[in-house]
């Protein structure tokens, strides 16, 4: 780890050349890419990117992976620099693993920031989580995933909802009747989170979420409004897909894992298209259960190939 720390100190001392005024208006930090590689490759990669992205805004963030000599990088790059960055990674670190790829809206809401950060912390949590040496027979380690928590009863298609307030009211009433949690408590939790910034992600997707006192297990609901809702999304598009996440108070790791799961699925255009084609609650659940086949290649960067999962940052949940 001494070598890793030395490399990280060198990286954190990085400074970028002043950005030409002619480029400042471009707001080019539009793609986030995660890469896991050996720590020794970080410095040459940083030098290559400094050269290739000269005059363009970009950022590199680093997280160590415990008990290894590998690190995970979060690269925020101009979209037109992504292919070159992938080539540099492949050349410098052939054993590198590419993880999540996201196209970030020009004005991302806090909902987007939650997801970008959650994918990082969820992986760190899984690395640090001790092995289950006393697991009961038949116990499923993947219980904190959307496909395990989403049931047909929690899928509401063609819901007659006028606006965001009506959506939260319906979610509250549903949770009260099915889970015994007061509707007002659910509504207040969702509104409190929404007051920090819209959970509309863009591309017609919203992920309202909250930690709820008195809730004993996580609740996932998928709602498809009959008429798309205004959600103050960063791209101003109305929301046609709502994935609501409610977790017990203090269940931070579960909360992060579920947000990461949302990011991985809903940032993929092919998955969203398949979801819109589902005509029944059971079809929706089957799609979530078979997400690997449903997702296809990452939609944000068509030429990049995801070869694994990597993840490192902070969630305001």
35 HSE (CA, 13 A, CB side): 29
Which residues carry out catalysis?
209
Contact assessment for residue 301 and residue 101, using Cβ atoms and an 8 Å cutoff? yes
The 3-class secondary structure across 206-257, one letter per residue, is ECCEEEECCCCCCEEEEEEECCCECCCCCCCCCECEEEEEEEECCCHHHHHH
Tokens matching residue 236: 């101003």
**CA dihedral sign, ordered 70, 31, 197, 153:** negative
Phi, psi for 199 (deg, rounded to 5):
-90, 10
Chain centroid, CA 162 distance in Å: 27
């Amino acid at each position: 780890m001494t070598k890793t720390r030395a490399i990280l100190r060198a990286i954190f001392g990085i400074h970028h050349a002043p950005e030409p005024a002619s480029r400042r208006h471009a707001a080019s930090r539009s793609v986030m890419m995660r890469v896991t590689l050996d720590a020794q490759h970080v410095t040459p990669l940083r030098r290559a990117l400094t050269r290739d992205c000269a005059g363009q805004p970009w950022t590199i963030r680093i997280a160590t992976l415990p008990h290894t000599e590998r690190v995970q990088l979060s690269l925020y790059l101009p979209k037109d620099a992504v292919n070159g960055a992938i080539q540099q990674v492949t050349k410098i670190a052939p054993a590198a693993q590419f993880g999540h790829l996201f196209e970030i809206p020009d004005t991302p809401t806090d909902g987007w920031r939650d997801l970008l950060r959650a994918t990082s912390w969820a992986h760190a949590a899984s690395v640090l989580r001790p092995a289950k040496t006393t697991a009961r027979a038949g116990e499923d380690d993947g219980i904190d995933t959307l496909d395990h928590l989403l049931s047909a009863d929690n899928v509401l298609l063609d819901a007659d909802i006028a606006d965001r307030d009506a959506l939260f009211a319906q979610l509250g009433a549903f949770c009260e009747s099915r889970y015994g949690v007061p509707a007002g408590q659910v509504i207040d939790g969702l509104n409190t989170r929404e007051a920090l910034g819209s959970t509309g992600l863009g591309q017609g997707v919203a992920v309202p979420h909250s930690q709820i006192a008195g809730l004993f297990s996580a609740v996932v609901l998928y709602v498809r409004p009959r008429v798309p809702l205004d959600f103050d999304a960063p791209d101003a598009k109305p929301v046609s897909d709502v994935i609501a996440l409610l977790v017990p108070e203090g269940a931070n790791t579960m909360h992060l894992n579920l947000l990461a799961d949302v990011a991985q699925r809903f940032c993929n255009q092919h998955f969203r298209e398949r979801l819109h084609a589902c005509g029944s609650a059971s079809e929706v659940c089957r799609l979530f259960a078979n997400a690997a086949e449903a997702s296809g290649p990452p939609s944000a960067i068509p030429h990049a190939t995801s070869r694994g999962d990597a993840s490192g940052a902070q969630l305001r949940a």
